[in-house]
Amino acid sequence: MIVATAGHVDHGKTSLIRHITGVDTDRLEEEKRRGLSISLGYAYLPHVTELPVGFIDVPGHHRFINTMIAGVGGIDLALLVVAADDGVMPQTREHLDVIRILGVKRIIPVISKIDLVDEQRLRAVESNVGELLHDVRWQQEAPFRVNNKNGFGIDSLRAYLLNCASQCDTRDATGVFRLSMDRVFHVKGAGLVVTGTVTSGTISTGNEVLVQPGGASLKVRGLRVHDRNALSATVGQRCALNLSGKGKVARGGWLLGPSAAPLSECLDVRLQLLETLRFSLKHLTPVKVYLGSQRVTGRLARYRCETSSLGLNAGDNVIAHLLLDEPVPAFTGQRYLLRDASEETLLGGGVILDPQGFYCSKPDKHRLVYLESMAEPTPDAALRRLLEQDHVVDLALFRRAWNMPHETKALPGINAGRAFYADDKSWLTSRAKWSATEQELISFVSAWHRERPHEKGIRPDLVQRAMGSKYGIPLVLGVLSACLKNGALGLVGGYIIQTGFIPHAKDGADNQWRLVKACLSTSGAAIPVLSEIAVRTGITIEDVKIAAQSAVKHSQAFRVSDRRYALPSQLLGFAKNIIQLDEANAEISVAVAKQQWGTGRNLTIEILEYFDEIRFTQRRNNTRIVLDRSLPARLFSA
Domain boundaries, the chain: 2-167, 178-256, 264-368, 388-504, 509-635
Q: Do 434 and 401 meet the contact criterion of CB atoms below 8 Å apart? A: no
Q: Do 596 and 581 meet the contact criterion of CB atoms below 8 Å apart? A: yes
- Active-site residue list: 10, 13-14, 61
pLDDT given at position 32: 46
Torsion of CA 289, 294, 295, 296, to 10 degrees: -90
pLDDT given at position 506: 57
407: left (phi over 0), alpha (psi -120 to 50) or beta: alpha
Say how far apart CA 144 and CA 108 lie, in whole Å.
Answer: 8
Q: Could you read off the pLDDT of 205-254 as tens digits, one per residue?
A: 999 999 998 889 999 999 988 878 889 998 888 889 999 988 888 888 89
Q: Do 69 and 91 meet the contact criterion of CB atoms below 8 Å apart? A: no
Give me the architecture of the 178-256 domain, per CATH: Beta Barrel (2.40)
Say how far apart CA 41 and CA 262 lie, in whole Å.
Answer: 32
CATH class of the domain comprising 509-635: mainly alpha
- Please list, residue by residue across 301-332, b when 16 or more beta carbons sit within 10 angstroms of its beta carbon and e when fewer do: bbbebeeeeeebeeebebbbbbbbeeebbbbb
Say how far apart CA 210 and CA 456 lie, in whole Å.
Answer: 55
Name the CATH superfamily, with its identifier, for domain 264-368: Translation factors (2.40.30.10)
CATH class of the domain comprising 2-167: alpha beta
Nearest partner of 51 among 238, 204, 240, judged by Cα:
238
CATH class of the domain comprising 388-504: mainly alpha
Q: Could you read off the pLDDT of 335-390 as tens digits, one per residue?
A: 899 999 988 889 999 999 999 988 876 767 888 889 999 999 889 999 999 999 99
Say how far apart CA 503 and CA 524 lie, in whole Å.
Answer: 30
Q: Could you read off the pLDDT of 542-578 as tens digits, one per residue?
A: 889 988 888 888 888 999 999 999 999 999 999 999 9
Do domains 388-504 and 509-635 share one topology? The answer is: yes
pLDDT given at position 238: 85
pLDDT given at position 505: 57
Three-class DSSP category at 429: strand
Q: Could you read off the pLDDT of 54-70 as tens digits, one per residue?
A: 888 776 556 556 666 76
Q: Could you read off the pLDDT of 429-482 as tens digits, one per residue?
A: 999 999 999 999 999 999 998 888 877 889 899 999 899 888 899 999 999 999
pTM of the model: 0.74
Percent of the chain with pLDDT over 70: 91
Average pLDDT in the 16-24 region? 84
